[in-house]
Structure 1
């Protein structure tokens, strides 16, 4: 594993650049996929480019973009979006990567490279799945036929895309399985995911299929149930060593930990705060991951009787603690933060004072403006910091590090998927898989030795409910907010709500199509809009085109009860 990590660190960016340049020894094969001589492009380097692109996108959406705020892992107190009106993004990048993956597949087919064909199929399936996850109906069957004269592709239904993706994953897995012992070499330095290990690619393809069968579990339970049972009998990601988590290199902003303050402005890091929703959930469980993910608040606040304020006065900082005379608190304008009352207190216009002694987070959508004044910030300047609200752990301020990875598919996710499937009657041993999921999450953050104490907590010990399984999966998906978002969207769990100053009273359920699709592929775009279902919240925010808003429902959510 150490060797694999070292190779990834060296190659993730280097090979991407190599795929877009020429070298004296590779002049005939290592060509720019967007240039001429596509018929001579090297499929290995093309696939490395696609892997790098997926790594960057999943990492950013998992940590830095507003999905982390949507899922209430973090909130930004400056230059952020905590109010749930983000339109989403990534369409063009996904299709750019798909074109490269498709060229890699064509070249591998021409060269009879079955390993490379299968990898290209898996990457294409993953990219199409991400597109339909976020947007709904998308160009799929005609999407990569530009060379065949299809410049304005039709949109396929979301159902067609999901089921096509699953089929391709199964075909790719079978292609690798059927050719074990005769597969060509995939050079480890070029395969930045699995170091040329075809068996790990098989496990990854099967695990992706399991993820997408479960994605359909509420919408099409008969199809999903049969598929899950079939897939559980296949090789899946079975350990932390099998999981797909690519370490950041720290060479440039594109391959570094998102939101670090070492590249560009230091406030890139300091404006990211933990969300109180996550902190409160972890506090209730005495979760040891708090210490790994968050920093103790620099200056806690204590509201005390006048005779307990050191040295007298009404508002003083002594030995790193801010003491406030409780007699000076005006109940008409101020309130001590309480998880049960804070929402209504903010609706009533009260200023919140959080007296938590260790970790202080930002409540979700707590202000109309950016919340850099929160918790009596003594220096309320945009981007200026706040000593009364916790930061993330300092490790996230680095460009790279042992825990800093783009977590594309974790072993913990497989375990929780298997636990959920068992609860639905599609598998076995829900409790065992739930426990393994927790152990896997602790292991991946380097605190596996604390599992025994944690699982003995009465609130953590398995209780047989989907609510508990999904809460633990949500916690484990910290830095993987995109997958947490998909889980919440199909299950409504955990039961999180927008804050008092959100743009809508419900969390958005899709991304908005890019404007260039409306402008350049208008007929097919308009046809795709008919696949969206307007809701009571579709028009919560003005300025969108017809039903193409974050609050319209795609096929996946039509006729089901969750998330709202």
Structure 2
């Protein structure tokens, strides 16, 4: 990450440089209500606003939004039931708004003969369209941004296959544009990702192409294999310094970690809790990242013989520990939490007690209503605290610069290493073990835990075993706070084996977001065609064609994830 000192200025650009509003779906014309003429605007200013918008929205989803919960990194304990009641998500309008801004930057780059900016805008375009097709399926793509030049302002939808292949083609074109030694017109301060370093942008373009080729590994394996083997011979992200990240420096709301609670309600921070799917796995692997991400529970719970309960009652707290009489569990319909049995216990009407001594997570879809009462929380109020469930580490309640830990992590060196390890396991590359170990090491290092690597890599379940399951498990852990990639990996491979939880809307996790109402109402005919391309499932019958549980093209005819 370069030139962090300029981010305070750049974050403030975001609301000023949005080229269009998104109130009317995709039918807006490319006009700038803030008075900056697209024919004269500096593309450097535009790409900085696209970069910050992309980075902050990705982190917001992956930390405290839909994809952080879907990937089972976190759960929310109030004003959210975690039941996978997926609707439109938050991507459609925000991404198309950024795409319009990016399109103006691209056109200016072409007009001014600036191949660096042209390549960068192609990469940003690919990432934004990638989010959209990942979550919705067929989307407006070829005609989405034509605006007033498009006779019919209701753009048709391209197939998901067309979009993915178009994304890859744009990334490969960007790589070619970014292969020269010298470029003109770069304002380094406005490139908040790489400070104008074309070689790093080229590595990113190729690394993203590898990501998207692998995205197609189950649906189009021959196409994916050819693309992966070719891309592995190109310059790729090769060290932590190449990562696509953006630091949150704090100070004001727009520069601070999402849901930090410093500029709104304190409950914004309290509501985000670690998910037991992750905390259980980290404890199983003796993973040191648990202490960086989560806080020890304020009041641990112990189930003990009656004689050890202070005062001799059913429950009491003393010296910061809660004691529960083991002889009263059945009478009170209490059950001790276990990952293997908790769903059945809840379905049987039991109330769960978590006796984890340090880190207590919130199980996925643990309640049909707000789960703020989990683990016999005596406070029992929405938006309040729960002394019996761990919070996120205080660093995420950003009161300072976060000690270099608080970054939007859009593409990490760890992810690249795990992609290469997966390719090797599939027979599409080489050195599965070396790349796996490099991915684990890189993830530990970015969280300040590099000195734990030699011990951690010897732990049971971490020492390399040569399986895709192990590679995807470590990649899932390393993608903490990049819920988009963790969720897409799960949808692609079914790994790790995530369950929907006892009070989820359906017995399985959803596969997509539904299209937003404004798009349905203003682009009805084309929307209807796109929705009809979705494949119904046993879980989509209570919805129209456009269901979170309908299969988009990429998982049609594919055995995973369910």
TM-score by length of 1: 0.94
What is the RMSD of the two structures over their aligned residues, measured on CA atoms? 1.7
Following TM superposition, by how much is the alpha carbon of 1:248 offset from its aligned partner in structure 2, in angstroms? 1.1
Alignment of 1:104-253 (within 5 A): 104-149=105-150, 150-177=152-179, 180-253=180-253
Q: Which moved more, 1:459-468 or 1:11-20?
A: 11-20
CA distance in 2, matches of 1:228, 1:282: 31
CA distance in 2, matches of 1:195, 1:66: 31
**1:11–1:189: 8 Å Cα contact kept in structure 2?**
no
Deviation digits for residues 147-201 of structure 1 (CA, Å, limit 9, x no counterpart): 3124111000000000000001001110111xx2342141111111100100000
CA distance in 2, matches of 1:293, 1:8: 27
Following TM superposition, by how much is the alpha carbon of 1:34 offset from its aligned partner in structure 2, in angstroms? 5.9
* Structure 2 residue aligned with 1:28: none
Alignment of 1:16-27 (within 5 A): 16=14, 19=17
Segments of 4+ in structure 1 off by > 6 A?
none
**2:18–2:101: 8 Å Cα contact kept in structure 1?**
no
Following TM superposition, by how much is the alpha carbon of 1:263 offset from its aligned partner in structure 2, in angstroms? 1.5
**1:75–1:275: 8 Å Cα contact kept in structure 2?**
yes
**2:133–2:139: 8 Å Cα contact kept in structure 1?**
yes
> How many positions carry a matched residue from both structures?
547
Deviation digits for residues 312-369 of structure 1 (CA, Å, limit 9, x no counterpart): 3332211111112212222561111122211100010001111111111111111111
Name the CA shift for 1:341/1:17 in 2 (closer, same or farther; >3 Å).
closer
Deviation digits for residues 250-309 of structure 1 (CA, Å, limit 9, x no counterpart): 244333201111111111111111111111111110000011011111011111112222
Following TM superposition, by how much is the alpha carbon of 1:20 offset from its aligned partner in structure 2, in angstroms? 6.7
CA distance in 2, matches of 1:460, 1:33: 54
Aligned partner of residue 382 in structure 2, secondary structure: coil
Aligned partner of residue 9 in structure 1, secondary structure: helix
Deviation digits for residues 465-494 of structure 1 (CA, Å, limit 9, x no counterpart): 111111111111111111100000000000
1:46 pairs with 2:38: no
CA distance in 2, matches of 1:8, 1:560: 46
**1:33–1:46: 8 Å Cα contact kept in structure 2?**
no
Deviation digits for residues 201-246 of structure 1 (CA, Å, limit 9, x no counterpart): 0011111100000000000011100000111011111111110110
User: Any gaps of 5 or more consecutive residues in structure 2?
Assistant: 20-30
* Structure 2 residue aligned with 1:556: 554
**2:301–2:388: 8 Å Cα contact kept in structure 1?**
yes
* Structure 1 residue aligned with 2:471: 469
Name the CA shift for 1:251/1:531 in 2 (closer, same or farther; >3 Å).
farther
Aligned partner of residue 317 in structure 1, secondary structure: strand
* Structure 2 residue aligned with 1:25: none
Following TM superposition, by how much is the alpha carbon of 1:14 offset from its aligned partner in structure 2, in angstroms? 3.8
Following TM superposition, by how much is the alpha carbon of 1:428 offset from its aligned partner in structure 2, in angstroms? 0.3
Following TM superposition, by how much is the alpha carbon of 1:74 offset from its aligned partner in structure 2, in angstroms? 0.9
Following TM superposition, by how much is the alpha carbon of 1:19 offset from its aligned partner in structure 2, in angstroms? 4.3
CA distance in 1, matches of 2:208, 2:498: 26
CA distance in 2, matches of 1:334, 1:19: 55
CA distance in 1, matches of 2:503, 2:64: 21
* Structure 1 residue aligned with 2:420: 418
TM-score by length of 2: 0.94
Alignment of 1:336-485 (within 5 A): 336-398=336-398, 400-401=401-402, 402-485=404-487
**2:232–2:429: 8 Å Cα contact kept in structure 1?**
yes
CA distance in 1, matches of 2:382, 2:310: 31
Aligned partner of residue 547 in structure 1, secondary structure: coil
**1:16–1:45: 8 Å Cα contact kept in structure 2?**
no
CA distance in 2, matches of 1:160, 1:425: 26
* Structure 1 residue aligned with 2:28: none
User: Any gaps of 5 or more consecutive residues in structure 1?
Assistant: 22-30
* Structure 1 residue aligned with 2:313: 313
Name the CA shift for 1:308/1:81 in 2 (closer, same or farther; >3 Å).
closer
* Structure 1 residue aligned with 2:284: 284
Name the CA shift for 1:410/1:36 in 2 (closer, same or farther; >3 Å).
closer
Aligned mate of 1:536, from 527, 532, 538: 538
* Structure 2 residue aligned with 1:24: none
* Structure 2 residue aligned with 1:262: 262
Following TM superposition, by how much is the alpha carbon of 1:33 offset from its aligned partner in structure 2, in angstroms? 7.6
**1:8–1:247: 8 Å Cα contact kept in structure 2?**
no
Following TM superposition, by how much is the alpha carbon of 1:146 offset from its aligned partner in structure 2, in angstroms? 1.2
CA distance in 2, matches of 1:8, 1:220: 43
Aligned partner of residue 102 in structure 1, secondary structure: helix
Following TM superposition, by how much is the alpha carbon of 1:35 offset from its aligned partner in structure 2, in angstroms? 3.8
Aligned partner of residue 335 in structure 2, secondary structure: strand
Following TM superposition, by how much is the alpha carbon of 1:92 offset from its aligned partner in structure 2, in angstroms? 1.2
Aligned partner of residue 45 in structure 2, secondary structure: helix
Aligned partner of residue 69 in structure 1, secondary structure: helix
**1:315–1:322: 8 Å Cα contact kept in structure 2?**
yes
* Structure 2 residue aligned with 1:547: 545
Following TM superposition, by how much is the alpha carbon of 1:60 offset from its aligned partner in structure 2, in angstroms? 0.9
CA distance in 1, matches of 2:250, 2:10: 10
1:96 pairs with 2:97: yes
**1:211–1:417: 8 Å Cα contact kept in structure 2?**
yes
CA distance in 2, matches of 1:519, 1:15: 32
